[in-house]
Structure 1
Amino acid sequence: MGFQLPNFNHPDFTLPQFVESPQAKLVPSPKDKVAPEQYHATTIFPEYFKIGGQWLLAKESRMDCVAVYENGEIVIRESRRLKQGDLVVIGRTEDASEGIYVHTAGFASEDSNPLETFAFRQGRSRETAYSRDYDSLYELLRHEREHGYITWVLGPACAFDHDSRTAFSKLVQNGYVSALLAGNALATHDLEAAYLKTALGQDIYTQKSQPNGHYNHIDTINRVRLHGSIPAFIEKEQVKDGIIYSCVKKQVPFVLVGSIRDDGPLPEVYSDVYAGQDAMRQCVKKSTTVICMATTLHSIATGNMTPSFRVLPDGTVRPIYYYCVDISEFSVNKLKDRGSLGVKTIVTNVQDFVVNISKGLGLE
């Protein structure tokens, strides 16, 4: 039967709790970048606000932001973007008693059953069986390639191995990557592999350290900076393979955001974290599936920007599928602890994961 999106069930606004609910209270922002006292902080779930007798859905949400009533709509805005006088929703309940309703069960299926009182292996760990997750992912990715927007968030481990680097390049080339979010290291080591056949000085296939290999990644950065940009480096140095090469050739957008420890960095890397966050957000706003691999900080950053739903141009509300893949149970659990409650976690080696995904999609 293939992949099918679940139906979204809007709240029944004819129920007394909604009919008798007061209007949401709006208070002007006292100054730029400052929310009024008792502001409502948004969640990952669909949220409705009663304004003028109507329940308005905030169409683009984000965790830990504020709701602003503007031009007849609810706009979700980071506090740093507030302007003095913006009409901000205040209230700290979520059950419609203050004109604010957080809808956590919009995609709940009618046949879902509560867990047994006692059952083994209900968590997600290295002992979890992931066969069904892989099968579901193959179906999801095939659907999203035609109907969605797939954002991948990568750590440098994805470029350290010959096979995983090749496998991810095939995903890009075959339309399974709509955008790539990463740091300086992923791009640096991927370009190092294309330029010098090493990652951090080790041969990407044999893993043998090369003479003076510790220079290779900074030599690569230096060469890219000489040419002025990653696309210019790819052209001038006749680079023919890799993750970033494939993104450039397929015109897949990539956003590289730096950190305090970066070498170089590469010319395209955002050194201003808020400019980088804004650039990441532009991709996240389009995303219908997000897959994070082997990068705790970028996974949490992206998770904090990503709601559990997307409102399509035709008004349809659909879920956003969010996966986090890491060999560390700590990393995937930390993402959930930071509020990304809808994330599906897979605890495995990301290099094996990418190869399995590529093979499962028939990209051998």
Structure 2
Amino acid sequence: MPFELPPYHEPDFTEECFLHAPNASYEAVQKDGVAPENYHSTSMYPEYFKIDGEWRLAKESRMDACVVLRENGELAVVEARNLKKGDLVMLGRTELGEEGIYLHCHGFREEAPRIADQFVFRQRRSRETSYARDYDKLIELLQYEKEHGTILWVMGPAFAFDADARAAMQALIEHGYADGMMAGNALATHDLEGALFHTALGQDIYTQKSYPGGHYHHLDICNKVRRCGSISQFIEAYQLTDGILCSCVKNQIPLVLAGSIRDDGPLPEVIADVYQAADAMRGLVRKATTVICLATMLHTIATGNMTPSFRVLEDGTIRPVYLYTVDADEFVVNKLLDRGSLCATTMVTNVHDFITRIARGLGVMS
């Protein structure tokens, strides 16, 4: 059976609680970057605001932002640091209509199946969980999204430590299963190290054998790329053809590399300013309909906080945004699960095994 998006069920605004709810209130910002007292903070769920008797959806909700009423009636979702003096910020801390604000958590959810037993085993996601159906569903989803959506990958450096994982990700990119990539300096550096030296942190990416002086390899990569001026110029200068970064450059996949305080180098494209990096990441997230976060706790949490549970398409249709996180550590995946996202799926497994299984399931890797 082909993959089908679940329908969105909007609130029934003919109900008495909505009809009798007051209009939402707002207040002008007095100082750039400072929200008024009692500002409303958003979530990843659809949120409606009653304006002049009409319930309106804030179309790009995400965690911990403010809602600004524009002159044209649009409800813009804006980080507090980006507020400008004069912006009309929605006020209210309740979410069931009491202040003209309604948080809609169950728009895509069918009626929950009844379970006879109140106590059941294995409700948490752990190393012991069977993920067979999750793999099947994700493969079906990716096949659908290749034609109808936008797939964003968020990757940690562990990918670059394994030859098969690099090959699997390269195959996914080259077969159209990636529309954007987000990572840090480490993933990019070690992937390029793999392309040039066949090592990551000085270890062979297939045999794990350490090379004499190999601990210099990643530093040499940073130095060589900086000498060339850019990642693409480095790839061209050394005629590299394999790996994640090479495939992104070759296939013109948008790439955001966010820096951290411990970065070596860094590579020229790495964005050192944390707010510029966040804005660049948000630029990719706002287009994504499926986001897959792999072996990176900080990037996963950051991405999760800026990813809504829904997307309003150009024709006005509301569809879910699917959010996956994959890590060998239960703590990391449960950090995302605890957000309560409608469409979050967590998998506790080695990302090397995960990505090769996905590539083979999609038929892009033997």
- Using the size of structure 2 for normalisation, the TM-score is 0.98
Which position in structure 2 is the counterpart of 1:361? 362
- The C-alpha deviation readout for 1:207-259, integer Å capped at 9, x for no partner, is 00001000000001100111000000000100010000000000001100010
Q: Are the counterparts in 1 of residues 62 and 307 from structure 2 also a CA contact under 8 Å?
A: yes
1:43 partnered with 2:43: yes
Residue 84 of structure 1 and its aligned partner are, at CA, apart by 1.1
Which position in structure 1 is the counterpart of 2:201? 200
* Distance (whole Å) between structure 1 residues aligned to residue 226 and residue 112 of structure 2: 57
Which position in structure 1 is the counterpart of 2:266? 265
* Distance (whole Å) between structure 1 residues aligned to residue 262 and residue 144 of structure 2: 38
- The C-alpha deviation readout for 1:30-59, integer Å capped at 9, x for no partner, is 211011100010011000000011100011
Which position in structure 2 is the counterpart of 1:141? 142
1:18 partnered with 2:18: yes
Give the secondary-structure state (helix, strand or coil) at the position aligned to 1:276: helix
Aligned CA distance change for structure 1 residues 120 and 269 (closer, same or farther; 3 Å): same
1:301 partnered with 2:302: yes
Which position in structure 2 is the counterpart of 1:69? 69
- The C-alpha deviation readout for 1:285-321, integer Å capped at 9, x for no partner, is 0000000000000000000000100000100000000
Give the secondary-structure state (helix, strand or coil) at the position aligned to 1:124: coil
Which position in structure 2 is the counterpart of 1:328? 329
Which position in structure 1 is the counterpart of 2:99? 98
* Distance (whole Å) between structure 2 residues aligned to residue 86 and residue 220 of structure 1: 46
1:215 partnered with 2:216: yes
Which position in structure 2 is the counterpart of 1:30? 30
- Which range is displaced more, 118-127 or 338-347? 338-347
- The C-alpha deviation readout for 1:51-88, integer Å capped at 9, x for no partner, is 01110001111110011100211111000110111111
Which position in structure 2 is the counterpart of 1:282? 283
Give the secondary-structure state (helix, strand or coil) at the position aligned to 1:310: strand
Residue 26 of structure 1 and its aligned partner are, at CA, apart by 1.0
Residue 335 of structure 1 and its aligned partner are, at CA, apart by 2.3
Residue 185 of structure 1 and its aligned partner are, at CA, apart by 0.2
* Distance (whole Å) between structure 2 residues aligned to residue 182 and residue 99 of structure 1: 39
Which position in structure 1 is the counterpart of 2:345? 344
* Distance (whole Å) between structure 2 residues aligned to residue 104 and residue 114 of structure 1: 21
Spell out the pairing of 1:68-217 with structure 2 (5 A cutoff): 68-70=68-70, 71-110=72-111, 112-113=113-114, 116-217=117-218
* Distance (whole Å) between structure 1 residues aligned to residue 236 and residue 343 of structure 2: 41
Counterpart residue type for residue 41 of structure 1: S
* Distance (whole Å) between structure 2 residues aligned to residue 258 and residue 114 of structure 1: 47
Q: Are the counterparts in 1 of residues 337 and 346 from structure 2 also a CA contact under 8 Å?
A: no
Q: Are the counterparts in 2 of residues 257 and 269 from structure 1 also a CA contact under 8 Å?
A: yes
* Distance (whole Å) between structure 1 residues aligned to residue 288 and residue 112 of structure 2: 28
Which position in structure 1 is the counterpart of 2:6? 6
Give the secondary-structure state (helix, strand or coil) at the position aligned to 1:195: helix
Q: Are the counterparts in 2 of residues 304 and 339 from structure 1 also a CA contact under 8 Å?
A: no
Counterpart residue type for residue 344 of structure 1: T
Aligned CA distance change for structure 1 residues 319 and 115 (closer, same or farther; 3 Å): farther
Q: Are the counterparts in 2 of residues 300 and 338 from structure 1 also a CA contact under 8 Å?
A: no
Residue 334 of structure 1 and its aligned partner are, at CA, apart by 1.8
Q: Are the counterparts in 2 of residues 304 and 340 from structure 1 also a CA contact under 8 Å?
A: no
Q: How many residues in Structure 1 have an aligned counterpart in Structure 2?
A: 364
Counterpart residue type for residue 211 of structure 1: P
Which position in structure 2 is the counterpart of 1:316? 317
Aligned CA distance change for structure 1 residues 114 and 34 (closer, same or farther; 3 Å): farther
Residue 339 of structure 1 and its aligned partner are, at CA, apart by 5.9
Spell out the pairing of 1:238-253 with structure 2 (5 A cutoff): 238-253=239-254
Aligned CA distance change for structure 1 residues 250 and 115 (closer, same or farther; 3 Å): farther
* Distance (whole Å) between structure 1 residues aligned to residue 191 and residue 108 of structure 2: 39
Residue 337 of structure 1 and its aligned partner are, at CA, apart by 3.5
* Distance (whole Å) between structure 1 residues aligned to residue 114 and residue 307 of structure 2: 27
* Distance (whole Å) between structure 2 residues aligned to residue 326 and residue 355 of structure 1: 14
- Which range is displaced more, 111-120 or 284-293? 111-120
Residue 110 of structure 1 and its aligned partner are, at CA, apart by 3.6
| Structure 2: segments with no counterpart, 5+ residues | none
* Distance (whole Å) between structure 2 residues aligned to residue 342 and residue 226 of structure 1: 43
CA RMSD of aligned residues (A): 1.1
Counterpart residue type for residue 161 of structure 2: F
- The C-alpha deviation readout for 1:259-300, integer Å capped at 9, x for no partner, is 000000000000001111111000000000000000000000
* Distance (whole Å) between structure 1 residues aligned to residue 136 and residue 339 of structure 2: 28
